[in-house]
Amino acid sequence: MLRRAVIARWAVAGALLAAGTRTASAQARALPSGDVHAIYARLLRQIERIPIFDHHAHPGFGDDGDVDAQATPPEHLPLRERESNPEFVVALKALFGYPYADLSPSHMQWVAARSAAAERAPGTAYFDRILDKCGIESSVANRVAMPAYLDPKRFRWAFFVDSFLFPFDNTLVTTANPDEGVYIPLQEKVLHRYMQQAGLSGLPDTFEGYLAFVTRTLEENQRRGGIAEKFEIAYFRSLHFEDPPLEAAASIYRRYRAGGIPSPEDYTTFQDYLFRYLVREGGRLHLPVHIHSAVGEGDYFSLVRGGVLNLENVLKDPRYLTTTFVLLHGGYPFFREVIWLAAMKNVYLDSSEIETLVYPSEFKTVLKLWLETYPDKITFGSDAYPYSAALGSEESYWLGVHSARDALASALAEMVASGEVTEPAALQLAHGYLHDNAAALYPAVAQ
Ligand SMILES: [Zn+2]
């Protein structure tokens, strides 16, 4: 019985990957043979020509407050993200002909002046050109709102929904640690913005009214070009969501709508219901649900509460099969565990953040495991993000794309040299990861 199931799965996999994935008599080997460097060089030349669908980024100038729904608290940056990283100089030279060899404060004035001039230019040509230079066809923009300087044909909006989970007095959450003191007031601002957008001067009287407001906002944002709803909720609470009945959430809403500090237990129950409501609505409206699933900014980010396996009961709940989930940043550092969640047909991974948080040698390990397991479920994201008022998202687009192409060509070269896949099959996998797998999730907007 088991063997028949295995044979059936191999037949399906074979049909999907087309002939040539393995040679007829080949058995994969642990030690690569042949010239891995030559295979790498051949693959990289092809990979550099693949137009990219960037599944996750925060495009914008360094002083644009709508670039994210949250701000970065004071933190101890990992090595590669420090301004001492010479790769930023390489990116600045490649993109803008930066004339200096370091990022000293006086040289940063050159960067700031260049950025300010770009920001003053009218129209959308500037950021379109950045995408062109990086080989990106389109980029999903995680932003509070879309600015006039981003071309809506190239930049697709993913809008934030966490704020719907924080409508009450947030004193206890805000004071939990210094990071939350930075994050939660910004979530409150986003909720007020959504309420203004809906013409509400206060929270609706009933819970049914509140859910109707949530739905109206999702529909309105979709009408404005939104293609996905985005959660950063791992920054604020556990990724484990229980399944409380509607009446439990409704009674908590009635109790705290007009004031009073909810107990942590009550707030959690309310949020558990709201999260699942947003997941269901994401399925109904064909808005994929993007969830931050990796280690985050800020020194207080909890790896236990924010660990991606906490989501398993939701991701493997057959009631949500019509909702597409995208696990942003691939659960890092739990990348070995997260790929097995992609066994669910509606669960996808995005590799953003990882390729710039760590160096390509580590990222190659991540990608290789994923390519060897569920290659049809993995997608590229740059996580382009402004580093400072002077360094916008442009340099991180460049760094993310170049790191990913390098790690991808390296991982595939090892797979070819170990007899796991042929070179043509490796290129097919590269197209899937860099473009096709993600683009297929947004058929209405893919170019
Ligand atoms: Zn991000």
Residue 406 lies in a domain: yes
Collapsed DSSP state (helix, strand, coil) of residue 327: strand
Distance, CA 263 to ligand 1 centroid (Å)?
A: 30
Q: How close is the Cα of 28 to the center of ligand 1, in Å? A: 36
The predicted pLDDT at position 447 comes to 46
Distance 280 CA to ligand 1 centre (A): 23
Kindly tell me the burial class for residue 44, based on how many C-beta atoms sit within 10 Å of its own C-beta (0-12, 13-18, 19 or more): middle
CA 294 / ligand 1 centre spacing (Å)? 10
Distance 418 CA to ligand 1 centre (A): 34
What pLDDT shows up at residue 74?
84
Phi, psi of 54 (to 5 degrees): -90, 110
Distance 353 CA to ligand 1 centre (A): 7
Spacing, Cα 357 to ligand 1 middle (Å): 12
208: nearest Cα among 173, 240, 250, 237:
250
Q: At 345, which amino acid appears?
A: K
Q: Tell me, yes or no, whether 151 lies in a domain.
A: yes
Ligand 1 centroid to residue 292 C-alpha, Å: 8
Domain presence at residue 299? yes
How many angstroms separate the CA atoms of 192 and 203, rounded?
Answer: 10
Structural domain includes residue 445:
no
CA of 232 to the centre of ligand 1 (A): 9
Report pLDDT for 9: 47
pLDDT in tens, 251-307: 999 999 999 999 999 999 999 999 999 999 999 999 999 999 999 988 999 999 999
Overall average pLDDT of the 410-429 stretch: 97
Q: Is the overall model pTM greater than 0.85, yes or no?
A: yes
CATH number at residue 302: 3.20.20.140
Residue 351 Cα, ligand 1 centroid: separation in angstroms? 11
User: Could you tell me the distance, in angstroms and rounded to a whole number, from the CA of residue 177 to the centre of ligand 1?
Assistant: 22
pLDDT of residue 273: 98
- The pLDDT value given to residue 181: 87
Q: What percent of the chain is predicted at pLDDT more than 70? A: 94
- Which residue type does 269 have? T
Q: How far is the CA of 56 from the centre of ligand 1 (A)?
A: 6
Phi-psi group of 353: left, alpha or beta (phi > 0 → left; psi -120 to 50 → alpha; rest → beta): left
pLDDT of 15 strictly over 60: no
| 148: CB partners within 8 A, 6+ apart | 124
Q: Give 207 Cα–ligand 1 centroid separation in angstroms.
A: 31
The pair of three-digit structure tokens given for residue 119, joined into one six-digit string: 């920001």
Asked if the structure places residue 1 within a domain, the reply is no
The string of DSSP codes covering 38-64 is: HHHHHHHHHHTTSPEEEEEE--S-TT-
User: Is the pLDDT score of 443 beyond 90?
Assistant: no
Q: Output the pLDDT for position 25.
A: 53
Residue 14's pLDDT band (cuts 50, 70, 90): very low
Expressed in percent and rounded to 5, the helix, strand and coil fractions of the chain are: 50, 10, 40
Q: Classify residue 7: in a domain, yes or no.
A: no
Question: What is the layout of strands, in order, in the sheet containing 325-328?
Answer: 52-57, 136-142, 155-160, 226-231, 289-292, 325-328, 347-350, 378-379
How far is ligand 1, taken at its centre, from the CA of residue 57, in Å? Answer: 6
Q: Give distance in angstroms: CA of 70 to centre of ligand 1.
A: 11
Rounded distance between C-alpha atoms, residue 281 and residue 333, angstroms: 30
Compute, in angstroms, the gap from residue 290 CA to the centroid of ligand 1. Answer: 10
Give φ, ψ of 257 to 5 degrees: -55, -40
**Residue 329 CA to ligand 1 centre (angstroms):** 8
Full domain range(s) for residue 55: 30-439
Ligand 1 centroid from CA 230, angstroms = 10
How many other β-carbons are positioned within 10 Å of the β-carbon of residue 1?
5
213 CA → ligand 1 middle, Å:
26
Q: Which sign does the torsion angle of CA 214, 72, 291, 156 carry?
A: positive
* pLDDT, tens digit (0-9, with 9 covering 90-100), for 91-150: 999 999 999 999 999 999 999 999 999 999 999 999 999 999 999 999 999 999 999 999
Whole-number pLDDT of residue 180: 87
User: C-alpha 253: how far from its chain's center?
Assistant: 31
Asked if 371 contacts 412 with a C-beta cutoff of 8 angstroms, the reply is yes
- DSSP states of 129-160 as a string? HHHHHHTEEEEEEE-SS--TTS-TTTEEEEEE
Q: Residue 16 — pLDDT band, cuts 50, 70, 90?
A: very low
Report the separation in Å between the CA atom of 19 and the middle of ligand 1, taken as the mean of its atom positions: 37
Q: Is residue 15 part of a domain?
A: no
Task: Report the separation in Å between the CA atom of 201 and the middle of ligand 1, taken as the mean of its atom positions.
Answer: 31
Dump pLDDT digits (tens) for 304-351: 999 999 999 999 999 999 999 999 999 999 999 999 999 999 999 999
- Residue 156: inside a domain, yes or no? yes
As a whole number of angstroms, the distance between CA 388 and CA 251 comes to 44
Per mean pLDDT, which range of 6-15, 223-232, 242-251, 327-336 is the poorest? 6-15
Q: How far is the CA of 241 from the centre of ligand 1 (A)?
A: 22
Domain count of the chain? 1
| Spacing, Cα 265 to ligand 1 middle (Å) | 29
Q: What per-residue confidence (pLDDT) applies to 91?
A: 95
| pLDDT tens readout for residues 66-107 | 888 778 888 899 999 888 899 999 999 999 999 999 999 999
CB 378 within 8 A of CB 372: no
Tell me the per-residue pLDDT of 354-398, one tens digit each, with 9 for 90 and over: 999 999 999 999 999 999 999 999 999 999 999 877 788 999 999
pLDDT at 65: 87
